[in-house]
Amino acid sequence: MRRTPKVFAAAAMVAALLTGCSSSESNTLTFWNPLTGDDGAYMRQIVQDYNATKPQYPVTFQPMAEADLYTKVYSVVNAEDDIPDVMIMHAARIPEFAGAGVLTTDETLTAAQPQLKRDNYQETAWDAGTVGGKSYGIPLDLHGVIMYYNKDLVAKYGAEGFLDDKVVTLDELATLKGKLPPDTYAFAGLFIPGVVDAGVRNLGGSAEPQPGKVEMTSPQFTTVYSKLVQLQKDGLIAPEDSDSMQVFNSGKALFLPDGTWGLSGHRAIKGLNFGLTNALQMSPDKPVNVLGSHQFVQLKDGSRGKERDKAVAAFVEFVRKNSLKWADSGQIPASRQVFESPEYAKYPQSFLTATSEQQSMLKIDATPHAGFISGALWNHSKDIVWGRVPVAQGLETMQKEIEAKIAEADAAGTKRD
């Protein structure tokens, strides 16, 4: 078919749109985020609700895989092109990107919308966006690994007492030895790295007690892994090759450490009678819930004008007032207006912020090398717990692996301390 000039003009227009005018030249706000799972549908609805208010700059919802998202941050800032107007960043990554000088502080947003302030948010979530005394993020939520339990199985096998103080310990689970049938387990272990992290902090330890000083071979790590190894030997942890979600959802495990984001999935299981409680601990003393936080941040962009910043602030303020829907995804809205509302109190995860005592248990993992530490825990925990590697050897391997990655990052000039 012969192309007419009109066709060429249309094609050129489409090409321009695809290759992209910069974000600052469009009449919409670009909103990058890592919400590619079930939770993305809830944020998409919030964006649609905001756009229905007919703002001057509607928001374009652009989810992408987490790894791609963080890789693109450096490329677009270096190229000074296609920089999003606003994005969601995990709090654990803010020290890295703030240290790299690619983030702006939130001063522009808070100046445009004065209600975007610490008093109006859960304090732990707000503080997670602060690095070196400067605030870079405005929190959307808190989220992390807590504990689900099967109410029917807990009653059947006499484990109700474990929940009296809302804190279940590894020692309590150990008392189930010999009391469960061969195909039923104390817990399913997909999130063993999360159990280890909470257990170590519960004992007063930390993988990185000082920036750059990693202590994976500490007594706390040895104690937590040793107890998990014994539980596995006693047949209390579901088999390594089993599907943890299937094991729990089919009524074959009393407990399941799982993310808050898994709530909607468990709700969808017909006949599953379950409850939520605090993360699995080592001791009932000083329990902790180690959580992450999604934060609204802005990348440095010299071409983005004040009007667009004001529009971003208006969108973030809308979310602050209207994020109850976000609780449907299982997450914990950081907005005080939402998490203190009677409507939110009906959500099962609301217990995490219901009292000052519960809020004091919330800990955000925002250590400088949290990503390297998390990677090592996921890479090696199963080898240790299932006995393929002795505890001491496994911890030493993690220590060396993390130190090597820190050295590699430092050598590449990407140290974020």
The C-alpha atoms of residue 127 and residue 180 are separated, in whole angstroms, by 44
**For strand 362-364 and strand 185-187, is the pairing parallel, antiparallel, or unpaired?**
unpaired
Which residues are registered as beta bridge partners of 274? 150
As given in the structure block, the two tokens for residue 343 are 């409507």
- DSSP letter string, 230-241: HHHHTT-B--TT
Task: Assess contact for 195 and 281: CB atoms under 8 A.
Answer: no
Predicted confidence pLDDT, tens digits, the chain (417 residues): 333 333 333 333 333 333 344 556 689 999 999 999 888 999 999 999 999 999 999 999 999 999 899 999 999 998 999 999 999 999 988 988 898 899 999 999 999 999 999 999 999 999 999 998 999 999 999 999 999 999 999 999 999 999 999 999 999 999 999 999 999 999 999 999 999 999 999 999 999 988 889 999 999 999 999 999 999 999 999 999 999 999 999 999 999 999 998 888 899 999 999 999 999 999 999 999 999 999 999 999 999 999 999 999 999 999 999 999 999 988 999 999 999 999 999 999 999 999 999 999 999 877 778 878 989 999 999 999 999 999 999 999 999 999 998 888 777 654 443
The C-alpha atoms of residue 379 and residue 149 are separated, in whole angstroms, by 26
Q: Give how far Cα 304 sits from Cα of 30, 81, 83, 84, 214, Å.
A: 12, 11, 9, 10, 39
Task: Return the DSSP state at 162.
Answer: G
Task: Assess contact for 314 and 113: CB atoms under 8 A.
Answer: yes
Task: Assess contact for 297 and 86: CB atoms under 8 A.
Answer: yes
The C-alpha atoms of residue 15 and residue 6 are separated, in whole angstroms, by 14
Q: Which helix (H) or strand (E) holds 29?
A: strand 29-33
**For strand 253-259 and strand 289-292, is the pairing parallel, antiparallel, or unpaired?**
unpaired
How many CB atoms neighbour CB 216 within 10 A? 23
User: pTM (2 decimals)?
Assistant: 0.83
The C-alpha atoms of residue 91 and residue 295 are separated, in whole angstroms, by 6
The C-alpha atoms of residue 229 and residue 412 are separated, in whole angstroms, by 38
As given in the structure block, the two tokens for residue 54 are 């007919």
Q: Which helix (H) or strand (E) holds 259?
A: strand 253-259
The phi, psi pair for 291, rounded to 5°, reads -125, 165
> Quick one: how far is CA 180 from the chain centroid?
33
CA-based nearest residue to 255, from 182, 191, 328? 191
As given in the structure block, the two tokens for residue 21 are 């005018």
Helical residues (DSSP H) of 175-305, grouped into ranges: 192-202, 219-233, 244-249, 263-267
